[in-house]
């Protein structure tokens, strides 16, 4: 424990371009690991789940978070998605509920840890980066990631 906490502080203080560069490397590593552990089709779904979970675990998706993930999310779903559409879509889905996000990601992290602890750690690091993208890691985000790290 504590590894993610220190990384959150580091990522929260990084400028956008440096965080973007760091994130690109971790995304490649995490998605590659997910593909090996869960298969290519499931890797995309898991990636989308961790992305959405990470930006919405504190109960909202703010404009900054939306702007930072808009292109990724739109590409993954195959069309341009507005912030209101994203919020409505989440509200209508299982990931619109914080307790569901918590249980879904906990199960995911446990499964990844059992399959490959390195992939688990890469995914946790990526989630920390997603939470820090707006340069403001909320207590809800920090506590959630620390709980996941302890699984």
pLDDT tens string 21-44: 998 999 999 999 999 999 988 998
DSSP sequence for 17-63: HHHHHHHHHHHHHHHHHHHHHH-HHHHHHHHHHHHHHHHHTTS---H
Q: What is the pLDDT of residue 151?
A: 93
pLDDT at site 1: 39
pLDDT of residue 2: 56
Q: Which residues in the chain land under pLDDT 50?
A: 1
Distance CA 139, CA 144 (A): 8
Q: Domain extents for the chain?
A: 3-149
Buried b (16+ CB within 10 A) or exposed e, 118-127: ebbbbbbbbb
- Report long-range pairs for 59-63 (Cβ below 8 Å, ≥24 apart): 59/98, 59/140, 61/86, 61/87, 61/90, 62/134
What's the pTM value of the predicted model, to 2 decimals? 0.88
CA distances from 67 to 6, 13, 43, 82 (A): 25, 19, 23, 10
Q: In this predicted structure, what is the pLDDT of residue 72?
A: 77
């Amino acid at each position: 424990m504590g590894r993610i906490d220190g990384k959150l502080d580091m990522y929260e203080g990084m400028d956008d371009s440096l965080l973007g560069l760091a994130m690109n490397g971790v995304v490649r590593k995490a998605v590659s690991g997910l593909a090996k552990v869960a298969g290519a089709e499931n890797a995309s779904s898991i990636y989308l789940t961790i992305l959405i979970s990470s930006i919405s675990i504190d109960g909202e998706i703010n404009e900054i978070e939306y702007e930072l993930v808009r292109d990724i999310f739109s590409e993954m779903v195959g069309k341009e998605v507005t912030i209101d559409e994203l919020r409505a879509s989440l509200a209508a889905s299982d990931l619109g509920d914080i307790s569901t996000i918590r249980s879904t990601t906990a199960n995911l992290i446990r499964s990844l840890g059992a399959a490959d602890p390195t992939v688990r750690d890469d995914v946790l690091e990526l989630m920390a980066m997603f939470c820090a993208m707006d340069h403001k890691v909320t207590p809800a985000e920090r506590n959630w990631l620390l709980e996941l790290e302890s699984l």
